[in-house]
Amino acid sequence: MKFSLSWLKQYLETDATIEQIAATLNAIGLEVEGIEDPAEKLEGFRVAKVLTAARHPDADKLQVLSVDTGDGAPLQVVCGAPNARAGMIGVLGLPGATVPANGMVLKKSAIRGVESNGMMCSTRELELGEDHDGIIELPEDAPIGTPFAQYHGADPVIDVAITPNRPDCMGLYGIARDLAAAGIGTLNPLPVEDIPGTFPCPVEVRTDDAEGCPAFYGRVIKGVKNGPSPQWLQDALKSAGQRPISALVDATNFIMLAFGRPAHAYDLAKLSGAVTARRAGEGETVVALNEKTYTLDAEMTVIADEAGAHDIAGIMGGQHSGCGDDTADILLEIAYFDPTRIAKTGRKLNLTSDARGRFERGIDPQFLDTGMALLTGLIVKLCGGEVSEVVRAGAAPSTPRIVHFEPSLVAKLGGVAVNPAEQKRILESLGFSVVEADGWAVTVPGWRPDVDGAPDIVEEIVRIHGLDKVESVPLPRAEGVALPTATPAQTLERRVRRAAAARGLQEAVTWSFLPEAPALAFAEGEPWVLANPISEDMKAMRPSLLPGLLMAARRNLDRGASALRLFEIGRRYLRGPGGASDERLALGLVLAGEKTPRGWATGKAAAFDAYDAKAEVMALLAEAGAPVDKLQVMGEAGPQFHPGQSATLRLGPKNVLARFGMLHPRIARQFDIDGPVALAEIYLDAIPGRKGAATFARTSYAPPALQAVTRDYAFLVAASLPAADLVRSVQGADKVNIVAARLFDDFRGQGVPEGQKSLALEVTFQPLEKSYKDEDLKAIGDRVTAAAAKLGAVLRG
């Protein structure tokens, strides 16, 4: 929020400098984003008098002026303004000055062969208005030689960032109240002048939407004369970044900026019948003051008459009923709107305004009559007119919030000792009332909807007392080496990330938000869709890491990347039981492009396949501590994967640890990717923890003393039997002696019966205390063939 120093001093009696005020604002939690001092922009410009004016010898539209700057000898200046003449007083920019409008640095120069020592300036060039038809003409008593910034009365402008929890500071009077509480000055009383009505209000005002608009006040002012507002009001609005429009509109904007109370003035001649706050009709339209048409629904509140809706309540007025230069009679409207309704309506319509920003944060519900009196008094002062009585429909919430408070909480929660008497002074200066009986009963003022409990009261006291007075105290630390702070989940994530990078995979970091279509393609149910997204491309929370990685892969492939090995560790966002949010840690993997490039030894380039994805998954699962020797390969991985070229890795039928395979061609087309893509997803949260182990610490490796023995076995099995089932069964045949089993051949052809296949396994036996004898090896081999026989496997001759 922006405001000028002189405007602030209308409500705050203070002799503090602009620097002291800015420092105090920062100290009490109202961050100053910047200070604009117009005097700096006007440095080098001086009040000067034109002594003589003669035609330029080589240009009909230029004049050569002799200008008195108060320094003795006159300066010669070439000027093209039509109103430049001898005897006038204007503003001269001296060499070295910078023109505010265009940043041009003035210097001594020759114009058409005649020396010019500066420039006589217009209001537009000094950014004091839009007039550019001639140079500035000052009164005859303007002091010659005075710096123009000093003569003009340049007023510094402060820009303060208001956090969403401080709606009271969305009005300048609230900022002045905070400064007064901090000891920077004295708060002036509200400039309220009660103007009683001289006739009954001729317009019926009512609210038919008690939920959206609990209170709706109105009054008529007849015989107003609209026109430009006075200079002081225009200057105030300009300092706040507002464009002056007319006296009636400027008055409502001034009350909103000064006191945080939005209001609206209707041209009474453009209204018909009763004026009502009601729900909008489904599909009803309003042409707002920004000249855009908005289609409303039944969850929105409007201000309407018998002809139809005029305003989007609490957000923006309608173009049809706005005040113009010919407006003679007006209806003033001040209402209390439900903050939640205003926020939802603004988001649905994608419509922001100063009024919405205040209503959705929370307007003081007890400020209706005071706001009406302030606005009425200002309009009568500016535009005249005869005032009606006030019509009040409904009632704003009036139950005060009372907080039980103990002064000792300030030291306990805030870490600073503040005398109870000082605590009471601070609270009362901020508008709270304090009753000391069995602890304190603190009544919260209506303009502070953010204060809910005792901790909020502590915050108010501490920030006004001084956050810089809170002593920095280090946290206690035990002697010796600090204990590890990473959780098992964090340790797991770090290990897997390092392992993936060590295997040559490149880490990607993608958005947690996706366009809706890619999210739906990988969602198992309904994905989370944001009600107020940053953009349409960031509308849905990702149900999987794979769509983000596929989009990253496509961007890289489109830019000529020949091979991609991308992985990402992050959260996927699912819908839990009852619609609750369910976040799961996962690792996504995408392999695209050429696995190996073409070459004289390798021949054609080779693409990635499902086995490459499986190999990466198995290696990363092993690094994560998963029992990879017990994993089962089961079923298809989902509709996003190619049928027959994908699977899941499970511990039992229900606990899925990962899925891998080739991308389905349909999904590849959706993501606009050409060529085969292998991908996988590891569900890190599904990996069971190690029993009795809180960390991933490993014991030191001690190689066996005796040499291992390997034996090869070839089995005839049903063609439908997964090879992994046979490997798992063989490895479990003798858990003491068999330390490894791996498949090295899968043959189907001559010599193998129809419907069967030959699987060859290399099995490793590891002796422990003594070397094997022949009968030991035969016993182990018998256990191997017996375990295989349970799956219908027959040892080949």
pLDDT in tens, 84-106: 999 999 999 999 999 988 889 99
* Backbone phi and psi for residue 672, each to the nearest 5 degrees, phi listed first: 60, 45
DSSP class of residue 137 equals -
Helix (H/G/I), strand (E/B), else coil: 130: coil
pLDDT in tens, 761-789: 999 999 988 999 999 999 999 999 999 99
Spans of the chain below 50 pLDDT:
693-696
Q: Checking DSSP bridges between strand 738-747 and strand 756-765, what pairing results, if any? A: antiparallel
Q: What pLDDT, on the 0 to 100 scale, is given for residue 690?
A: 64
* Backbone phi and psi for residue 287, each to the nearest 5 degrees, phi listed first: -95, 110
The alpha carbon dihedral of 685, 687, 688, 693 has a sign of: negative
450 annotated to a ligand binding site: yes
Please count the other Cβ atoms lying within 10 Å of the Cβ belonging to residue 326. 8
Q: What is the 3-state secondary structure (H, E, C) of 522-579?
A: HCCCCCCECCCCCCHHHCEECCCCHHHHHHHHHHHHHCCCCEEEEEEEEEEEEECHHH
Q: Residue 413 burial (CB < 10 Å; 0-12/13-18/19+)?
A: middle
Specify the DSSP element, H or E, that contains 3.
strand 2-4
Q: What pLDDT, on the 0 to 100 scale, is given for residue 699?
A: 64
Output the CA–CA distances (angstroms, integers) from residue 274 to 203, 368, 391, in the order listed.
Answer: 6, 20, 12
What are 450's two structure tokens?
């953010």
What are 413's two structure tokens?
């929660």
Q: What pLDDT, on the 0 to 100 scale, is given for residue 201?
A: 95
Q: What pLDDT, on the 0 to 100 scale, is given for residue 695?
A: 46
Helix (H/G/I), strand (E/B), else coil: 282: coil
- Whole-angstrom distance, CA of residue 303 vs CA of residue 276: 6
Q: What pLDDT, on the 0 to 100 scale, is given for residue 698?
A: 58
Instruction: Sketch out the chain's domains with CATH numbers.
Output: 2-37+156-187 (3.30.56.10), 40-152 (2.40.50.140), 205-394 (3.50.40.10), 401-469 (3.30.56.10), 488-686 (3.30.930.10), 709-795 (3.30.70.380)
* pTM over cut 0.85: no
Beta strands in 15-130 (DSSP E): 31-36, 45-56, 59-68, 75-79, 89-93, 109-111, 114-116, 119-120
776 annotated to a ligand binding site: no
460 annotated to a ligand binding site: yes
- Buried residues in 63-78 as b, exposed as e (16+ CB within 10 A): bbbbbbbeeeebbebb
Q: Residue 671 burial (CB < 10 Å; 0-12/13-18/19+)?
A: middle
What are 111's two structure tokens?
């114009």
- Whole-angstrom distance, CA of residue 466 vs CA of residue 455: 16
Contact 191, 172 (CB under 8 A): no
* Backbone phi and psi for residue 217, each to the nearest 5 degrees, phi listed first: -110, 145
